[in-house]
Amino acid sequence: MRQLLILATTCWMIGAVNARLPAQTLDRVTTTGKRTYSGTIDTVTRNDVTVETRAGSRKIAVNEIATVSFQDEPRELRSSRIAAQRGAYQQARDELAKLDPAAIQRDLVRQDLEFYLAWCEGKLALSGGDKAKAVRLLRAFEQAHPQSYHYYEVVKLLGQLAVAVGRVDIAEAYFKKYGEAPFPRYQLEAAMFMADAIRAAGKFDDALAQYDKVLASPLDTAEATQQKQMAKVGKAACLAELGKPDEGIAIVQQIIRSTPSESNAELFARAYNALGDCYRKKNQPKEALLAYLHTDLLFFQNPDAHAEALFHLSKLWRESAKNIERAMQAETALRSRYAGTVWAKKATGG
């Protein structure tokens, strides 16, 4: 009996000690290649993170980082980071809002909390959330932490938000900052974002030239191939506006035929939107309506592309199909889900 009591007491003490131990005893950086470096994060810049490990110092480039977590971070930050990275921005933001930044002693941990609060706000704003608040938080982070390893994510999102509200001039400035990264993939993405911004400003000849620069890139990674497919779609939309819709249709149809739709929702949304643009310019409203419906019903995951499709659908249902009910449904969806976007403003004459 005495031995049983000793054993029970020992187990209880071990459990009590384990309950007080932090869930993570070291900083960790996990790469996109699934390798994890554990130790103490020593130096952080916008281009790399250095970890002091038992095997020595390891410098990891930002473009190779999948996640960073810290030894002494709150559990809420860790779980919210995971939620945000899988797209659950509302859940992550609401959980992070419960934390008090002033109560966090370590500067890097406090920075991560500030970043994810701003980033979640920005992602939600792209879908119709409070854009002014998102921009305020993101700009404050950019100015306070210009050497954060999140820097390029912040300036990219600020550029996307500027496009969403029709401030292409501001967007171009942020995408230029994003393109200053020393990583070819980021530079290609920046060129693509810039081309989209120029097209949004109605400068179709300039945008066409910018898309051709993307297509001429020697990068041949999977990410680069995806960007080049997007550039072809953008080029097709420009051709429609420049009086060459048949050339645009040929480009888009080739992409649709040769690319699997699985895991390519954004590409297909933009492709069908471009196809709709081409048919509108050919004065074929029935075909245009069908193209935009593909985005609305099948590839609606990207907020900007879906908002664009809803805008055109509302016009086509009303003016060409004479279906007022369907037009009102599209308008209601646009205003309720994507309020504050450039497409919602266009729908109201703003």
Residue 59 domain-assigned? yes
Residue 48 domain-assigned? yes
Domain extent, residue 283, equals: 265-350
Query: How much of the chain exceeds pLDDT 90, in percent?
Result: 85
Number of domains in the chain: 2
Is the pLDDT at 148 greater than 50, yes or no?
A: yes
Q: How far apart are CA 341 and CA 334, in angstroms?
A: 9
Residue 1 domain-assigned? no
> Cα dist. 166→134, 155, 169, 325 in Å?
16, 17, 9, 29
Among 134-138, 186-190, 245-249, 261-265, the minimum mean pLDDT is found in 261-265
| Residue 349 φ/ψ region, left for φ over 0, alpha for ψ in the -120 to 50 degree band, beta for the rest | left
Residue 20 domain-assigned? yes
Alpha carbons within 13 angstroms on the beta-carbon side of residue 314 total: 18
Beta-sheet pairing, 65-69 with 36-44? unpaired
- Residue at a domain's end among 28, 50, 71: 71
Largest separation between any pair of C-alpha atoms in the chain = 93
Residue 64 domain-assigned? yes
The DSSP secondary-structure symbol of 36 reads E
**In one letter, which amino acid is 134?**
A
Residue 294 domain-assigned? yes
- Residue at a domain's end among 32, 54, 71: 71
Supply the CATH number for residue 271's domain: 1.25.40
| Structure confidence by residue, pLDDT tens digits, 198-229 | 999 999 999 999 999 999 999 999 999 999 99
- Residue at a domain's end among 49, 71, 93: 71
Residue 341: helix, strand or coil by DSSP?
coil
Phi, psi of 58 (to 5 degrees): -125, 120
Supply the CATH number for residue 56's domain: 2.30.30.100
Residue 114 domain-assigned? no
Token pair of 282 as six digits: 């050919």
Residue 312 domain-assigned? yes
* Residue 281 pLDDT level (bands cut at 50, 70, 90): very high
pTM of the model: 0.86
